[in-house]
Amino acid sequence: MTDADIIGFIRHEARLIDEQRFDEWLDLFTDDGRYWMPLDPDQTDWKLQQSLYNEDVFLLRLRCERLKSAKTYSQKPKSRCHHLLQTPEITRDGANFSTWTAFHYLETRLDEQTLYAGWSRHSLVEIDRKPRIQLKRIDLVNQDSAFAGIQLFM
């Protein structure tokens, strides 16, 4: 797995979200994968400390299935989103590797558009010569702000 492969993977992941190809996006996670957005930048506990997101694959899939439902009223009309990524920094540890990616993320619906900024850290493993996400941790720069509702994925 070259650095270019890994950088390409991170870009591809963001593109799948932006194009709302959520089933393909979910396939990037391992079976025990997790999507985590802590409430505190120093947080290490996701059980007894609150988080904005702490989703195993079941909960992520539930969100994606809900987005397809005809009765998802908060998505009438639908939200759209846009990622702008900085080039990921890569750290290797044997067969495992992790990336650190600064990002801007924009979510929009009707006439409202909200900009979020932060850093995502992917813990990746190689399975069948492809990277898979074991943990995607997202730290927003303003994780303690009162948000108006984040409906898609960063």
Partner 1 sequence: MRDFAALVRNGEVHRDVYTSSAVFDHEMTHLFAATWVFVGHASQIPNIGDFTTTTLGVAPVIMVRHTDKTIHVLHNRCPHKGTRVANDPCGNTGRFFRCPYHAWSFRTDGSVAAIPLPTGYAETQFKQSEAAGGMRPVGAVHSYRDFVFARLNSAGIGFDDYFGASLSSIDNMVDRSPEGRLEIAGGVLRYMHQCNWKMLVENLTDTCHPMVAHESSAGTAIAMAKALPGKHPAVEIYAPFMSPYAFYENMGIRVWPNGHGHTGVHGSIHSDYSAVPGYFDQMVAAYGEDRARAILDENRHNTVYFPNMTMKGPIQSLRIFKPIAADRTLVESWTFRLVGAPDQLLERTILYSRLINAPTSPVGHDDQEMYERAQDSLQSDSNPWVNMQRLLGADETEETAEANGTSERQMRNQFHAWQRFMTVAP
Report CA 35 to chain centroid distance, whole Å. Answer: 6
Question: Which residues, in sequence order, are bridge partners of residue 29?
Answer: 133
Q: Which stretch binds partner 1 (CB under 8 A): 23-31, 64-72, 84-92, 118-126?
A: 64-72
On the question of a cis peptide bond just before residue 38, with omega within 30 degrees of 0, the verdict is no
Q: How far is the CB of 16 from partner 1 (least distance, A)?
A: 20
Rule CB under 8 A: is residue 51 a binding residue for partner 1?
A: yes
Smallest distance, Å, CB 23 to partner 1?
14
By CB under 8 A, is residue 146 in contact with partner 1? yes
Contact 39, 123 (CB under 8 A): no
Question: Judged by CB under 8 A, does residue 117 bind partner 1?
Answer: no
* C-beta separation of 54 from 68 below 8 A: no
> Letter for the amino acid at 88?
P
**Residue of 24, 27, 59, 142 that binds partner 1 (CB under 8 A):** 59
> Rounded CA gap, 154 and 135, in Å?
13
Residues near partner 1 (CB under 8 A) are: 37, 39-40, 47-54, 58-59, 61-63, 65-66, 69, 71-74, 76, 144-151
